[in-house]
Amino acid sequence: MKSTYFKRNDIVLFLAVLCGTFNGTISAQSSKKQQYKVAVCDWMILKRQKLGAFALAGEIKADGIELDMGGLGNRPTFDSKLGDPVERQKFLDASKELNVGISSIAMSGFYAQSFAKRETVTQMVDDCIMTMKNMNVKVAYLPLGTQCDLSKNPELRPIVVERLKWAGKQVGKIGGVIAIETSLNATEEKKLLEEIGSKHIKSSFNFANAVDNGRDIATELKILGKKHLAQIHASNTDNVWLENDKAIDIPKIKKTLDEMKWSGWLIVERSRDVTQVHNVKVNYGANVAYLKKIFQN
């Protein structure tokens, strides 16, 4: 006689029938946690640190937003509402109510500001980490932007490494990760991460950086490796939507990430159709839909 046993889906079905909630189908997420989630940058959908980002993200079917810390300018730290408990709770309530998560807290001010030279970097990073802690977000995004481009300014490397070692210790206290974006190729970025030597400092990989420098995205991801990859900015510079971009082979990238057994957030930053670049819903709706079609199907 063959032995009988319940598989997990059998148990889910049995309980659903028992409770009267079975409608004839069982979703994939009932038996398996979603490996890939898709988010959008709040500043790129023109909702930088605005509550409306959650509703808009939900409207374009994104799973979450990358929530920005606010502008820097000449301030000692970010122009952020999130340090105010009352304001912060509004964001947390909106996230929960609309079922739109927060992939990461972004320090996008460093696109144009120097992480190596700003004197109040410790205050900025501490404020970001406190926001992460208070909002239960495990990843912060730190772009080493134009003023801290290590390819063009290699002399900044020692101070960047020193500051990131310190930042790794700080974010490690809350069990978080700071995901850095650099202009380096995967081999050099991996060397940088190994020099920093902290499991709390990882890579925020950007498709556009690879494409702009003639690098194969799948190959770069393999070189970087699963343990060094915190999140992915899954878009190119503005030209066409992802599904029409001949420079990016999304199915191949998914196959590579599957083989790496990586899971995490894919964040849409750009890839806007230049003929309608200001149409947020159309551009981000199309890119989110395509990523979900490939990565969540």
DSSP string, 154-180: GGGHHHHHHHHHHHHHHHHTTT-EEEE
Percent of the chain with pLDDT over 90: 88
The residue-averaged pLDDT of 258-270 equals 98
Show Cβ contacts of residue 158 under 8 Å, excluding neighbours closer than 6 positions. none
Q: Do 103 and 40 touch, CB atoms closer than 8 A?
A: no
Residue closest to 286 by CA, chosen among 106, 221, 294: 294
Nearest to 42 by CA among 207, 267, 234: 267
* The token pair that represents 58 in the structure block: 């939900």
Upper half-sphere CA count for residue 204 (Cβ side, 13 Å): 27
Element (H, E) at 204: strand 201-206
Provide, rounded to the nearest whole percent, the portion of the chain with pLDDT above 70: 89
pLDDT of residue 22: 35
Mean pLDDT of the chain: 91
Domain residues of the chain, as ranges?
Answer: 32-295
Which one is the CATH code of 32-295: 3.40.50.1220, 3.40.605.10, 3.20.20.150, 3.40.50.10800?
3.20.20.150
Taking only the tens place, the pLDDT of each residue in 17-60 is: 344 433 333 333 333 588 999 999 999 999 999 999 999 999 99
Q: Residue 53: its pLDDT value, please?
A: 98
Look at residue 32 in the predicted model and tell me its pLDDT: 53
Tell me the C-alpha distance between 176 and 140, whole Å.
8
pTM (predicted TM-score): 0.89
Place of tokens 């980002």: 53
For residue 119, the cross-strand partners are none
